[in-house]
Structure 1
Amino acid sequence: MDVHLTLVLCSFVYLVRSAVDVSLGSCKIKEEFAVCNLQPSSDKPSNINGTIYFMQKLVPGECKEDFLSIQVYIDNLPLDDGNDKHGLHVHEFGDSRNGCGSMGPHYNPRGSPHGKPWNLPNARHVGDFGNVRQNPKTGKVSVRLVDYLARLTGPESIIGRGIVLHAKEDDLGVNKNDTGSITTGNAGARLACCVIARSSPIYEDKFTLYK
């Protein structure tokens, strides 16, 4: 290759890399982390406990947030109630003074109907995380969820709001003629809950694949 052309190409690559470095260096968005320590509702005593971790990283090489990673670890779910799937949602309030019922309705700042986590923003709540499946032999949940809509920053941040684990499977709002389906997914009683709190960085090895 011509020496002059090589120098020109090298200079171009350097300028591009420098521009990227400057752009990322001036990025005002930071990685964010949160944690939620699950406890049974005070009006439904049980041994349910667990931890839910949240990680909001940046898209590699870009100054914008990636999807929200959610790692769910739950122990001691009941084995004899016939429910292997449980609705898991963000609720409006981080308030458990009167049990999980005081966390209010699903977090729904856009006034949308309840739906599937993969629905468009006008067809799901920001707090619609769908279902988690327990191991039918151990009563444990260990699963990673990825959500494209919920965020740890911005005007619709879920920080300070509640997470509620429900007794039954969320029907994902499929029955449009059923008020329960389009508001709560008919997910039943609130078994356990916690408040989403901002945290220090969480090691990525906390976030495992589906089990």
Structure 2
Amino acid sequence: MMQSIAITLALCATICAAAQTRNTPIEAIAYVSGPAQADGSQVKGNVTFTQNDCGQNVHVRVQLEGLKEGKHGFHVHEKGDLSNGCASTGAHYNPDKVDHGGPDHEVRHVGDLGNLEVNSSGVIDITYTDKVISLTGNRGIIGRAVVVHELEDDLGLGDHVDSKKTGNAGGRIGCGVIGVNSDVDEWPCRDGGVGGLRSSLSILAVVVALFLSRSV
């Protein structure tokens, strides 16, 4: 009996250890640039995305310069294609096929990241968290593009014909492809995360049931 208990406990320990996800953040980065504007300014900088584990919120850091004072629509677009500049990045990333909205709206495109609010310096350095985008899975944004727009995004609340599609945010003044910036072999979602935890707990339940049946 004692030997059976020891074996069962060892199996439980092994399975629980396998169920734990590694604390290795997933990181991606987009190097953003745009065409020179009439006043000689040019949008440039980078946007960094960090996700501590699969299924968790994504931390976004935006570091840009060359912007005009005011609010600028900021989105993830569906294609990482810069063959024709920002024009070839396609529409907003919208795998759920829903209306455009704001980042805190219940209904929004995955790529709806709201507005960047820029002061008179033309420089912005902000960090915030988004609960919808992901760096893996069916809402993964790696390989797509970030786009900065000329005008304010009305978050789908305006009466313009494009409000529910694009937020009527005007032209595209800067963009960049979102690329991997961490070791892919260390991504926790490859062999851990919620799915791995559920599988491991299922196996654990079977082991415990077997032990209990033998001890009766």
Instruction: Please tell me whether the aligned partners of residues 35 and 42 of structure 2 are also in contact (alpha carbons under 8 angstroms).
Output: no
What is the CA–CA distance in structure 2 between the aligned matches of 1:86 and 1:162, rounded to whole Å? 16
Structure number with larger C-alpha Rg: 2
Q: Following TM superposition, by how much is the alpha carbon of 1:42 offset from its aligned partner in structure 2, in angstroms? A: 7.8
1:118 lines up with 2:108 in the alignment: no
Deviation track 1:46-82 (CA, whole Å, cap 9, x = no partner) reads: 4221110000013xxxxx532100000001213xxxx
Distance 2:37 2:89 in 1: 13
* 1:132 and 2:122 are equivalent in the alignment: no
Counterpart amino acid of 1:85? Answer: K
- What is the one-letter code of the residue matched to 2:48? Y
Q: TM-score scaled to structure 1, two decimals? A: 0.73
RMSD across aligned C-alpha pairs, in angstroms?
A: 2.7
Could you tell me which of 141, 162, 171 is aligned with 1:180? 162
Q: Equivalents in 2 of 1:197, 1:99: separation in Å?
A: 17
Q: Helix, strand or coil: the match of 1:149?
A: coil
Of Structure 1 and Structure 2, the greater helix share is in 2
Cα offset, 1:22, TM superposition: 1.4
Offset at residue 155 of structure 1 (A) = 1.9
* Percent identity between the two aligned chains: 37
Consecutive unaligned residues of structure 1, counting only runs of 5 or more, are 1-14, 59-63, 202-211
Q: Which has the higher contact order (CA 8 A, sep 6+)?
A: 2
What amino acid maps onto 2:79 in structure 1?
A: F
- Partner amino acid, structure 2, of 1:152: L
Contact 1:40–1:46, Cα closer than 8 Å, also in 2: no
Check if 1:22 corresponds to 2:21.
Answer: no
Q: Is the 8 A contact 2:62 2:126 kept in 1?
A: yes
**Structure 2 gaps, min length 5:** 1-9, 184-216
Structure 1 residues 120-147: Cα deviation after superposition (integer angstroms, max 9, x where no partner): 2xx10000000011122x1001111211
Partner residue of 2:203?
none
Q: Which of 188, 194, 197 is equivalent to 2:176?
A: 194
**Hey, what's the Cα distance between the residues in 2 that align with 1:42 and 1:84?**
18
Residue 73 of structure 1 corresponds to which residue in structure 2?
Answer: 63
> Aligned residue pairs: how many?
173
